[in-house]
A and B are shown apart, each in its own frame.
Chain A
Amino acid sequence: MSEIVESARSKTSLVRDYGPIVLAAALLALVPLAFHDSPSKMTVIIGGLLFCAYAIGFNVIFGSTGQLFLCTGALAGIGGFSAAIVNDRTGVPMLLAIAIGGLLAALVGGLLSWIAVSRSLDTIFTGVVTLAFSLSFENFVLGRKDLTGGETGIRIEAASETILDDQVAPYYIFLGLVVVYLVLYRVIQRSQMGWAFKALRDDEVAAELAGVDVTRYRVYAGIIGSAMLGVAGAVFAFHRGFIGPTTYAFGDVDVSVLVMLVFGGIGSLLGPVVGAVVFTILDEALVDFARLREMLYGIVIVVLFLGFRRGLIPSLESVRSKRRDRSEG
């Protein structure tokens, strides 16, 4: 009897935990039906999914353990450039190259995280150190022309005439990546480690007293999130067939990812998805305004942060729970 209750309960919690992911995936899966014959729109939409993947990776690092990594683009770039270079120079197959890219990003991200944690840097200092790393990476990409092609970038032929070529199939590959990342995020959230993350976020001192190894879990988050970023950057490199200095630049990646995540809700499962969808639409809507776009983008940032300080998803959730409290009480 109790076993039945137990399994029923775990089924409902399974639905509650993973239902939103399924729902979001199903909705996103319908998008190409509307846009599949417009290559330019598909390019934009795939870009949106890429940024969604970035935002989830960033969410694992920043949302879960509060480490302000201002090097999302650089970590993705380490994945992208190393995968492309390894594939080109040694002929390593594409999938293995992507794995190598992810691994390298994980190593670097883990190292940054370890430095931040072991020197107990606060938000601002972690941000500045990782920003310095980002900009150094950019300068490196521009400077080491022999490796990265400098300003002209590099072409990657490996993916031509594979599933990553074209538009619709890659869309579903990126969607798959996003779903895997979301599931991974949820699994982490529900694991022992996730409990520790939550305790950390609520009260670091209390978590430390409760025996949570702050250092270890922060570094874990740094490694996992960076691996996500590296893999996403590498997959994108093969799909696009070209990467250059702006593909992973701070100004082109990090600012958008940060804005998307904060808008959607830091530390919430679907925050990155909502943020990416809204900002992709917004970006597209502003495309006709050409030079005016950057200014409008800035205004949107300011207005959104003043209005939705805690992010859209958490704001909605708190409204809903208040309503529930009222109806119950």
Chain B
Amino acid sequence: MTAVVLDGIVLGLQMGLLGVGLTLVYGLGGVLNLAHGQFAVFAAIVIARLLDADLSLWVAIPAGLVCAALLGLVIDLSLMRPVYRLRGEDRVLLGLLLMLGVGTIIDGLLEWRYPIEALSIRVPGGPVSVLGVPMRRGGLVGSAMALTAGAALFGFFRFSTFGRATRSVIQDEDGARLCGVNPGTVRTTIFVLSGILAGLVGISRSMTAPIEVTSGVGLTITALIVAVVGGLGSVSGAFLAGVLLGIVSTVSAFYIGSYITTIVLLATAALTIVFRPSGLLGHRP
């Protein structure tokens, strides 16, 4: 049982890291980034290509993250401009549809150019004993990355001036403008940050399971479930939801098995919306 729960935590931290990028972008401007998982795959495939070209991991990883950040920047400065000019449901709908299109483009591009490429980072060394359970080193390093990223985000939002400004836009956009915060700048920065976070998932996840060119849609859906359960817009909520869902997922896979596990996760998201739409830690105006 301990082993199953520990596996769940390892998986859950990855899920949390995945959900947090999606939740931030949605919280800031109502854009549901349905290409979030594809961002992760994009970064992973860039890294895989560079590794194929015999570059060292220490060059490939930063390069992959930079590419994911640039992708975010380009999309924010081009496609998201007309989206943010709209208000209310129109904005939500156009943002969602455009990002769906972007996701399809990334999927199509990668499947066309590099159909069999995949990233799988092998962490050397044998299993490490945690609470008496032998754990794979890759999973632990991935978890450490997710925890570090989570802590850095938490510090950023709690203590930095720009982090505080980001929270202010999520809570009251007009109020933020009156304080001298430019919501456009905040949104661009956070979109880029969410690209980097997606790239990080691509790296850390590949330490336990390979990231393939077709992994994008699945990752996006996981991100969506995590973000909803955690409360759209909530950073700590995304991590909490990620870990809980990760545990639910491994426990259910161990005791019930196969396809029911996915249905359990999906049902959790649906039931959260129906009975607690603000999620675990989210707040709704």
Whole-angstrom distance between the Cβ of B174 and the nearest chain A Cβ? 20
> A87-119 interface mask toward B, CB cutoff 8 Å, 1 = contact, 0 = none?
000000000000000000000000000010001
Whole-angstrom distance between the Cβ of A21 and the nearest chain B Cβ? 27
Q: B interface, how many residues as a size bin?
A: 35 or more
> A245-273 interface mask toward B, CB cutoff 8 Å, 1 = contact, 0 = none?
00000010001001100100000000000
Instruction: List residues of chain B with CB within 8 A of the CB of A123.
Output: 89, 92-93
Q: Which residue of B lies closest to A134 (CB)?
A: B266
Contact of B82 among A262, A291, A292, A306 (CB under 8 A): A306
Q: Which residue of B lies closest to A251 (CB)?
A: B217
CA distance A262 to B94 in the complex (A): 10
Whole-angstrom distance between the Cβ of A204 and the nearest chain B Cβ? 11
Whole-angstrom distance between the Cβ of B34 and the nearest chain A Cβ? 10
Whole-angstrom distance between the Cβ of A290 and the nearest chain B Cβ? 8
Does B100 count as interface, using CB distance less than 8 angstroms? Answer: yes
Q: Is the interface of A mostly helix, strand, loop or mixed?
A: helix
Asked whether, in the complex, the Cβ of B98 is within 8 Å of the Cβ of A136, the reply is: no
| Among A68, A136, A255, A299: residue with most chain B CB under 10 A | A136
Q: Which residue of A lies closest to B79 (CB)?
A: A302
Instruction: List residues of chain A with CB within 8 A of the CB of B269.
Output: 128-129, 132
Asked whether, in the complex, the Cβ of B94 is within 8 Å of the Cβ of A121, the reply is: no
Instruction: List residues of chain A with CB within 8 A of the CB of B262.
Output: 135-136, 139
Instruction: List residues of chain A with CB within 8 A of the CB of B221.
Output: 131, 135
Binding site for B on A (CB under 8 A): 66, 68, 115, 119, 121-125, 127-129, 131-133, 135-136, 139-140, 142-144, 251, 255, 258-259, 262, 291-299, 301-302, 305-306, 309
Closest 6 CB pairs of A and B: A295-B108, A143-B259, A298-B104, A294-B108, A298-B105, A301-B101
Binding site for A on B (CB under 8 A): 30, 32, 79, 82, 89, 92-94, 96-98, 100-109, 111-112, 115, 217, 221, 224-225, 228, 232, 258-260, 262-263, 266-267, 269-270, 273-275, 277
- What are 10 inter-chain pairs, A to B, with CB distance below 8 A? A119-B274, A121-B277, A122-B89, A124-B232, A127-B96, A128-B224, A133-B270, A136-B267, A258-B97, A292-B108
